[in-house]
C-alpha cells in the first residue's frame, strides 16, 4: 500500500492537471507567465485615489468590472477599454483633480504649496507621481506635467486651474490606470524578465491590499529590499497583518464564491417574503466574516470553514437561523449554532444555498455543480444545444424523483451523475437557505447524498467529506493563483501549482502561508521575456525556488 502522503500528492497533481489533461511532476521546471498589463479594477482605482487624496473624496462613476474565468483580475488583463470607459476615466480624473484644488484644506494636504510656484510644484508632482505611478518619475516626465500646468494656467489665466490639469495628467496616464509590471532582462536565467523592486511593490500591494503601494513599500523597493524571494515573503507576511490585507483576502473569497450575485438575487415574494435586501446583505456579510475568522483568528486551518459551528449574523439572518439577533449598534454578531445543528460552516450557509437555487424551488444540480467545480476544480460540460434543462412536466412528487429521470437519459446522465447526488444532500435547505423538514405537505425531506461513491446523510456530513478531500486544497490554490496572477494557468505553470499545493497541505492549509509562499515564488517575481528577447541558451527559465 502506498503511504497516505503519496496518494494525496498523486491526487493533487491530477487535480492541478485537470485543465490540461496531463499529470505533472512537481519537480519539473516551470515556465514563466507572460508579462501583462492589468488595468486597475474599480475597487483598486477607488482605494488608490482615496489613499492619494483622502478617504472622504468623492470618487466618480467608472464602468463596472467584468469577469473572465471567475475573476476581474483576469478580465482587466485581457479586455480592451471601451469608448465609454475611456470617457468615464477622463471625467473622473477631471472631477478628482477639481476636488483637490478647490478644497483649500485638501489642496494643502495633497499639494502642500501655498502658491503655485514652480519649484514647489515640481516637488509636489514628483511626490504625487511616485505614489500614483508606483515608481519615481523621470525629470522629463515631471517636466512634461509641469509644462501642462504652466501653459494651461497661463491660457486660462488661473495657475491653480493649471494644477488641476496637471493632476488629470497623472490620473489619465496608462502608468496610473494600468499595473505596469513588464520586468527587466536578467541574463543569469534564460527566457524570463525579473520584476524590479517597484513592480514587485505594486504587485504585492494590489494583490494583498487591493490598492497601490504606500510610501513605506515604495521606500523598500527603492532601497533594494524587495530583490530577493526571502525579502518579498517577509514583506508579504507583514502586509497580511494589516487590516487592508484582511479586507483584500476577503474580497478574493467573495469573488471566488460569486457573492456579488447576492446583491440582485430574486426569490418568489409570496413564498419567501423574508428575502429582503437586508437578508441578502447579511448572507454576503456572513461569508466574508466567516472567511476572515477562519484565516486570521485561531490556527487558520482553512478546512474548518466547512465544519465550524460559528455563524455571523445581522438581524435578518439571525431570524432565519433562529438565533439571538445582534445588540443595538452591532451590525453582525458571532453566534454558536451548536454541535447538533443541521447547519455548520460554509456549505450550509444561507448565502450559498440561496445562490445555488431557483426562484421558488431548490436545485440539487446547481448546488452539486458548485461543489464539483468551485471546490474540487472538476469541469462539467454545459448541456448540449437543444437539451431541455428544466424539470417541468417530469414525473414524481419530489425533486429527487424527478432528477432520477436524468439517469435514464444517456445525453444527461454523464454530467448529472457528477452533480445531482452531491446536491441532494442539501435538500434540508430551502431556496433561501432556511431549514425545512418537508419538501411538500406530507413529503419528508431525504438528505441522502453521495460524493464519488461515499454516501452521506446530511449536508454537514458532506461538508466534512469535502473538508478532507485531497482535491479541495489544490483547487483552492489554483483559484487563488488565478486571482493573484491575473491569468489562467498554462501547462508550464502546473509544476509550480503542484509545489504550492504541497506546501499548502504541509502548512496545515493556512491561507496566509499560501499567500506568502506565492508572493515569494518565481511566478510572482518573474515574467516571460518577449519573443524578440528569447535567448538561445538551454538553461531553465527559472532559478530554483530557494534562490534569491
162 and 261 both lie in a single domain: no
User: Residues 279, 428: one domain?
Assistant: yes
Are 268 and 169 found together in one domain? no
> Do residues 282 and 369 touch, judged by C-beta distance below 8 A?
no
Same domain, 276 and 404: yes
- DSSP-assigned states of every residue in 463-488: HHHHHH-THHHHHHHHHHHHHHHTSP
Whole-angstrom distance, CA of residue 433 vs CA of residue 335? 17
Q: What whole-number distance in Å separates Cα of residue 247 and Cα of residue 220?
A: 23
- pTM (two decimals): 0.88
Residues 273 and 138 in one domain: no
pLDDT band of 478, cuts 50, 70, 90: very high
Residue 529 lies in a domain: no
364 grid coordinates? 440539487
**Domain check: are 259 and 361 in the same one?**
yes
pLDDT surpassing 90 at residue 60: yes
What value does the mean pLDDT take over residues 216-244? 97
493-521 pLDDT tens trace: 999 999 999 999 999 999 999 999 999 99
Within this chain, do residues 152 and 288 fall inside the same structural domain, yes or no? no
Residue 157 burial (C-beta neighbours within 10 Å; 0-12, 13-18, 19+): exposed
What pLDDT is stored for residue 120 in this prediction?
A: 97
Would residue 132 count as lying in a domain? yes
CA atoms within 13 A on the CB side of 338: 6
Confirm whether 458 is domain-assigned: yes
User: How much of the chain exceeds pLDDT 70, in percent?
Assistant: 87
Instruction: Please indicate, yes or no, if residue 479 is contained in any of the structural domains.
Output: no
Of 6-20, 103-117, 437-451, 484-498, the poorest mean pLDDT is in 6-20
Nine-digit cell string for 185: 532582462
User: Closest Cα partner for 295 from 512, 515, 516?
Assistant: 512
* 369, 380 contact by CB (below 8 A): yes
Taking residues 10-29, report their average pLDDT. 44
Of 135, 153, 179, the one marking the end of a domain is 179
Last-in-domain residue among 128, 152, 179? 179
pLDDT confidence tier of residue 9, bands split at 50, 70 and 90: very low
- Band of residue 20 on the pLDDT scale cut at 50, 70, 90: very low
- Phi, psi at 57, each rounded to 5°: -70, 145
Give the pLDDT score at 387: 60
In a domain, 96, yes or no: yes
- Tell me: the pLDDT tens digits for 523-538? 999 988 765 554 433 3
132 and 260: one domain? no
CA distances in angstroms from 230 to 115, 187, 196, listed in the order given: 45, 21, 15
Same structural domain, 313 and 420: yes
Q: Determine, yes or no, domain membership for 202.
A: no
Q: 387 vs 309, which has greater pLDDT?
A: 309
5 part of a folded domain: no
Count of domains for the chain = 2
The arithmetic mean of pLDDT across residues 154-170, rounded, is 97
H-type helices in 35-117, by residue range?
Answer: 42-53, 72-78, 83-102, 104-110
Residue 146 confidence class, pLDDT cut points 50, 70, 90 = very high
What is residue 190's predicted lDDT score, i.e. its pLDDT?
A: 67
Specify whether 299 is located in the same domain as 174: no
- The CB density around residue 253, as the number of other CB atoms within 10 Å, is 23
In a domain, 373, yes or no: yes
**pLDDT, mean of residues 183-188:** 78
Phi and psi at 520, nearest 5°, equal: -90, 0
First to last CA, the chain: 39
Separation between Cα atoms, residue 382 and residue 106, nearest integer Å: 53
pLDDT score for 413: 74
pLDDT tens for each residue of 415-466: 888 999 999 999 999 999 999 999 888 889 999 999 999 999 999 999 999 9
**Spatial distance between the Cα atoms of 260 and 227, rounded to a whole number of angstroms:** 37
Contact 16, 474 (CB under 8 A): yes
**Comparing 140-144, 206-210, 212-216, 394-398, which segment has the lowest mean pLDDT?**
394-398
Q: What is the pLDDT of residue 547?
A: 31
Q: How confident is the model at residue 298 (pLDDT cuts 50, 70, 90)?
A: confident
Same domain, 125 and 269: no
Asked if residue 254 and residue 172 are part of one domain, the reply reads no
Final residue in a domain of this structure, among 468, 501, 516: 468
pLDDT at 546: 35
Is the per-residue pLDDT at 543 higher than 80?
no
Distance CA 510, CA 299 (A): 8
Domain membership of residue 161 as a residue range = 38-179
| Predicted confidence (pLDDT) per residue in 327-357, tens digit | 988 899 999 998 889 999 999 999 999 999 9
Q: Residue 250 has which C-alpha cell?
A: 476577503
Per-residue exposure over 444-470, b if at least 16 CB sit within 10 Å of its own CB, e if not: ebbbebbbeeeebebbbbbbbbbbebb
Q: How far apart are CA 423 and CA 251, in angstroms?
A: 26
C-alpha 475/C-alpha 14 separation (Å) is 11
Which pLDDT score is estimated for 544?
34
Amino acid at each position: 500500500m502506498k503511504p497516505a502522503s503519496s496518494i494525496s500528492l498523486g491526487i493533487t497533481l491530477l487535480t492541478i492537471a485537470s485543465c490540461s489533461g496531463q499529470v505533472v511532476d512537481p519537480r519539473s521546471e516551470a515556465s514563466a507567465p507572460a508579462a501583462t498589463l492589468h488595468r486597475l479594477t474599480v475597487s483598486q482605482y477607488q482605494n488608490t485615489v482615496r489613499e492619494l487624496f483622502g478617504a472622504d473624496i468623492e470618487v466618480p462613476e467608472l464602468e463596472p468590472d467584468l469577469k473572465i474565468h471567475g475573476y476581474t483580475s483576469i478580465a482587466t488583463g485581457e479586455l480592451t477599454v471601451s469608448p465609454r470607459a475611456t470617457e468615464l476615466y477622463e471625467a473622473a480624473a477631471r472631477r478628482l483633480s477639481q476636488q483637490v484644488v478647490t478644497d483649500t484644506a485638501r489642496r494643502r494636504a495633497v499639494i502642500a504649496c501655498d502658491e503655485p510656484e514652480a519649484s514647489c510644484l515640481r516637488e509636489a508632482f514628483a511626490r504625487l507621481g511616485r505614489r500614483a505611478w508606483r515608481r519615481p518619475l523621470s525629470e522629463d516626465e515631471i517636466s512634461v506635467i509641469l509644462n501642462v500646468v504652466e501653459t494651461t494656467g497661463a491660457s486660462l489665466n488661473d495657475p491653480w486651474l493649471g494644477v488641476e490639469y496637471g493632476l488629470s495628467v497623472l490620473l489619465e496616464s496608462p502608468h496610473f490606470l494600468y499595473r505596469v509590471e513588464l520586468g527587466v532582462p536578467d541574463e543569469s536565467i534564460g527566457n524570463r524578465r525579473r520584476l524590479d523592486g517597484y513592480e514587485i511593490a505594486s504587485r504585492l500591494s494590489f494583490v494583498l491590499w487591493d490598492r497601490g503601494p504606500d510610501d513605506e513599500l515604495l521606500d523598500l523597493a527603492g532601497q533594494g529590499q524587495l530583490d530577493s524571494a526571502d525579502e518579498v515573503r517577509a514583506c508579504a507576511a507583514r502586509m497580511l497583518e494589516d487590516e487592508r490585507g484582511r479586507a483584500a483576502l476577503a474580497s478574493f473569497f467573495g469573488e471566488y464564491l460569486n457573492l456579488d450575485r447576492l446583491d440582485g438575487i430574486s426569490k418568489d415574494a409570496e413564498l419567501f417574503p423574508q428575502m429582503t435586501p437586508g437578508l441578502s446583505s447579511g448572507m454576503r456579510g456572513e461569508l466574508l466574516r466567516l472567511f476572515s475568522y477562519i484565516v486570521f483568528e485561531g490556527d487558520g486551518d482553512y478546512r474548518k470553514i466547512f465544519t465550524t459551528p460559528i455563524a455571523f449574523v445581522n438581524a435578518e439572518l439571525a431570524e432565519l437561523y433562529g438565533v439571538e439577533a445582534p445588540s443595538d449598534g452591532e451590525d453582525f454578531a458571532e453566534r454558536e449554532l451548536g454541535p447538533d445543528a443541521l447547519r455548520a460552516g460554509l456549505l450550509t450557509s444561507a448565502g450559498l444555498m440561496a445562490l445555488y437555487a431557483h426562484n421558488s424551488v431548490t436545485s440539487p444540480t446547481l448546488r452539486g455543480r458548485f461543489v464539483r467545480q468551485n471546490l474540487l476544480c472538476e469541469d462539467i460540460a454545459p448541456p448540449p444545444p437543444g437539451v431541455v434543462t428544466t424539470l417541468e412536466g417530469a414525473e414524481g412528487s419530489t425533486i429527487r424523483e424527478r432528477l432520477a429521470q436524468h439517469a435514464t437519459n444517456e445525453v444527461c446522465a454523464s454530467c448529472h451523475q457528477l452533480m445531482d447526488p452531491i446536491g441532494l444532500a442539501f435538500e434540508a435547505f430551502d431556496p433561501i437557505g432556511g431549514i425545512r423538514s418537508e419538501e411538500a405537505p406530507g413529503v419528508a425531506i431525504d438528505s441522502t447524498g453521495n460524493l464519488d461513491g461515499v454516501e452521506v446523510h446530511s449536508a454537514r456530513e458532506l461538508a466534512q467529506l469535502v473538508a478532507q478531500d485531497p482535491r479541495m486544497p489544490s483547487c483552492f490554490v489554483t483559484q487563488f493563483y488565478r486571482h493573484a496572477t491575473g491569468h489562467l494557468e498554462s501547462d508550464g505553470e502546473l509544476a509550480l501549482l503542484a509545489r504550492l499545493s504541497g506546501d499548502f497541505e504541509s502548512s496545515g492549509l493556512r491561507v496566509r502561508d499560501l499567500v506568502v509562499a506565492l508572493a515569494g515564488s518565481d511566478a510572482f517575481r518573474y515574467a516571460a521575456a518577449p519573443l524578440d528577447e528569447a535567448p538561445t541558451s538551454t538553461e531553465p527559465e527559472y532559478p530554483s525556488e530557494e534562490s534569491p
